[in-house]
Structure 1
């Protein structure tokens, strides 16, 4: 006969894919008729806009567009010119547990971009992308919490905690405004480049609402009426509300905000008004610690029981932290630099190397500096710099880590080249995994058990639980404690106990 058991259900999400896809795209483009011939390429800066992300059977597909601003010096004219090249991309990541309906978080970034001039009217543009992809599959786990009729059996219930993904949600939104270039800066004749750094600096769950705030740090590089390169910065704040469900207000929220569209244009006949439109997508992964009451053992003093066991995997959060690392290096230049015009940092994948309990993260940062040389010509120089960060992570634990720019990058001409300084924030999460065994079914042999031996036993307690002693002698912990006038199960190792046996 099968014993009737009470069951509880725990709904969460399993992480079935966590990968970084490295992808390359190239495109040839003819210089538009309205633009002069190319004399020399100065720089190529790419901004990635996500178009779609979709879970298929066994893989996740991601697509979007990289908008490249190619800056060049024209043949026979003065001042830097710009060509815009929009390069579509498509990539995928394989995962055995991925299926339609999975929640997908994708964060694409440009590692590097470069342009080669094929002839004065044709260019070849190449971009390297790093696309961080995570997929979450909805899961419902059933746990046995005890027998429906608990009068005939002895049960061991233990509380277990699990740190889990409780909600995966996203929200698209837009931002648009007309911005004014300060009077202290020259008027703009042509916008050369726009870059956006998206920062979410506050999030809070109230009821079933996730409220988050942040800012889009917009930097514009433009050519003034006298042909010089100038720049201006803006901080564009945003605040949004996203629907979440099934989570407590103390839950942890990891939020990524990324671009889906970007448009910057000068007002007609006005060198000081810039119209900006941003398409944005917020991706939230909410985690929280939940407690589970689990039936881990069961027996009867009067009948033979056969318990079926099931193993469960539970994660526990050990540490969640952000560490800021500073980088400083001198980049050699072929021509002595007089001043810097633009500095930016592109980030690629974060790697991990373990030595015992020391885990070293390393982010590949590509730093690019556009500068004015002593010969009054404009050049650019790029350097890949590995930025390390160390953390103490116990062996056997899993660790995920992401990296982002922590503010503006600085460049200063110095002897032998250009000194660059920037900071990166490494955000990492350490979890331990434990296997927990619980009862999932019980078969009862209704034939009575014939007990042999004395009705009371004297024995010494080793390093064991009182529960295990009671079970082995087919009695109860309550009877043992009563027979020995015990108030607690603590500190029994080495003591002699009377064990009364059921008859």
Structure 2
């Protein structure tokens, strides 16, 4: 006869293994008619905008653009010029994990960009983009906490309290962030913006009540011509915050993991109240935030059971849920020297582009690594703008919690300090690795239980057994073996609790009638 089980059901989401794609895009671009010919390319930089992703038929269609800015020296002594152009990004990511997924978290990184002059009016561009997609599918965790007809069938259960982490909710929000940056009083006003770059970073994300409070920073870097016609630069970090809907009811400890992606940007000289203010830079950023809310639930699970009067047949299944644990941050200080080949008068801008990030090993002997492309834009002794680059390998030996699969989710450089030397520029900056450890906990779950009358072989067993408890044995194990109860053994031996039983000491084992 099949017995009815007491079960607790938890609706949740399962984070499936990430899908990664590296894409290379190329294009040829004509210099706009209103600009002079190119004499020499000084610098080329890009910004990745990921606007949308749509999942259908086991495929994810990703749409976005790479906005390039080309900084060059014009012919006929017309000074520094720049212009922007875009490379469309329409990619398809395939994977079985996408079938049936309800949503996904999309991340991207511009790993490299290369621009070379084909002729004074045309340039060739090659960019490499890394896309990462994490699918989420609806799931249900079923936990057996007991048997409804336990007393009638004289069933003994062994229960354990377990803390189970599940993804309770995923939330997404598109928002706009606007702010202004004012030049310091020591700098001349802006004549023309030549190049701007923006990057986003999450600084904090937590659940407060039924809301999610997300905090982040937008970093703005700009190169411009001042009113005297000289090249100058500025950088600023602008904090922002957003509130998203969280859980209606929290039953356990919650943590929130957040991801930001830039979908668009508008940057110009002037402020909203003073459009002609050439000491201000206004920016409007279009941002998409994705959050996964993880909750730890404390549940009581049946891990073993037997009957003193019936033969039980139990069917169990092992449930696996890929956990969305919080990120682990590890920091490494980097110090590298870039040889310039010319005397440096002024450092205009520094930049670090990361690629090929990975993890080897795990636990107490993990190695985090990445390739860093270091770039320095500077003026030489003749005030000529030049760019020097160097590739460097960043390696950090560290320890990671847990034993799951580790992955570098993100990495970024902190404030870069540049020191000019006799033969180059020394850069010093911290590198932060944001590492996720994807644990896949396995939970044995009782699915069904059947009870049958005991056979005749159990009718002739002795009503009392004398035996000693062995090393590593519990009273539960003895009680199950002889179809009695732990309480009966304790009472027969005048013991108050199970810990009072001594290994090797004889115990009276009464059979339950």
TM-score tier, shorter chain, comes to over 0.9
Select which of 263, 268, 274 maps to 2:266: 263
Contact 1:16 1:96 in 2 (8 A): no
Matched, 1:460 2:476: no
Q: Distance in 2 between matches of 1:222 and 1:116?
A: 22
Which region of structure 1 is more displaced relative to structure 2, 389-398 or 120-129?
389-398
2:509 maps to 499
**What is the CA-CA distance between 1:24 and the residue it aligns to?**
1.4
Counterpart-to-counterpart distance in 2, 1:325 and 1:257: 23
Aligned to 1:104: 104
Counterpart Cα distance in 2 of 1:458 and 1:317? 51
The 2-side partners of 1:401 and 1:31 are apart by: 39
1:85 maps to 85
| 1:412 aligned residue (401, 416, 419) | 419
1:287 to 270, 294, 301: 294
Give RMSD over aligned pairs. 2.5
Written as runs of structure 1 = structure 2, the 5 A alignment for 1:411-450 is 411-430=418-437, 433-446=440-453, 450=458
Paired residue total: 503
For the pair 1:482 / 2:491, whether they are aligned, the reply is yes
Query: For 1:221 and 1:318, how far apart are their aligned partners in 2?
Result: 39
Q: Secondary structure at the match of 2:488?
A: helix
Q: For 1:128, what is the secondary structure of its paired residue?
A: strand
- Following the alignment from structure 2 to structure 1, what is the Cα–Cα distance between the partners of residues 63 and 391? 26
1:14-25 pair list within 5 angstroms: 14-25=14-25
Answering whether residue 313 of structure 2 is matched by residue 311 of structure 1, we say no
Q: Is the 8 A contact 2:402 2:437 kept in 1?
A: no
Residue pair 2:162, 2:300 contacting (<8 A) in 1 also: yes
- The TM-score normalised by the length of structure 2 is 0.91
Alignment of 1:60-209 (within 5 A): 60-151=60-151, 152=153, 153-209=155-211
Q: Quick check: 1:272 aligned with 2:279? A: yes
1:399 is aligned to 2:401: no
Q: Which residue of 2 aligns with 1:346?
A: 353
Contact 1:80–1:227 (8 Å) recurs in 2: no
37-46 or 254-263: bigger deviation: 254-263
Q: State the alpha-carbon separation in 1 of the partners of residues 132 and 328 from structure 2.
A: 19
Residues 287-334 of structure 1 deviation map (CA, whole Å, 9 limit, x = unaligned): 232223222222211121111121123678999632221111111223
Q: What is the aligned partner in structure 2 of residue 324 from structure 1?
A: 331
Segments of 5+ residues of structure 2 without an aligned counterpart are none
CA distance in 1, matches of 2:70, 2:317: 60
Q: Determine helix, strand or coil for the equivalent of 1:363.
A: strand
Partner secondary structure for residue 97 of structure 1: helix
Q: Is the 8 A contact 2:469 2:503 kept in 1?
A: yes
With 37-46 and 385-394 compared, the bigger mean Cα shift is at: 385-394
Larger displacement relative to structure 2 (100-109 or 65-74):
100-109
Are the aligned partners of 1:357 and 1:395 in contact in 2 as well (CA < 8 Å)? no
Equivalent residues of 2:340, 2:424 under 8 A apart: yes
Deviations, residues 444-490 of structure 1 (Å, cap 9, x unaligned): 21466542132100111112222221111111111111111222222
* Greater CA drift, 358-367 or 370-379: 370-379
Q: 3-state DSSP class of the match of 2:96?
A: coil
Q: Which runs of 5+ in 1 are unaligned?
A: none
* Greater Cα offset, 252-261 or 239-248: 239-248
**Alpha carbons of structure 1 residues 363 and 248: separation in structure 2 relative to 1, 3 Å:** farther
Displacement of 1:340: 1.2
1:384 aligns with 2:391: yes
3-state SS, counterpart of residue 18 of structure 2: strand
- Residues 99 and 476 of structure 1: is their aligned pair in 2 closer, same or farther, counting only changes over 3 Å? same
Residues 247 and 395 from structure 1, CA distance in 2 versus in 1: closer, same or farther, beyond 3 angstroms? closer
The residue number in structure 2 matching 1:231 is 233
Q: CA deviation at 1:76?
A: 0.8
Equivalent in the alignment of 1:218: 220
Query: What's the offset of the Cα at 1:178?
Result: 4.8
Find the aligned partners of 2:229 and 2:401 in 1 and give their Cα distance: 57
Kept in 2, the 8 Å contact 1:21–1:92? The answer is no
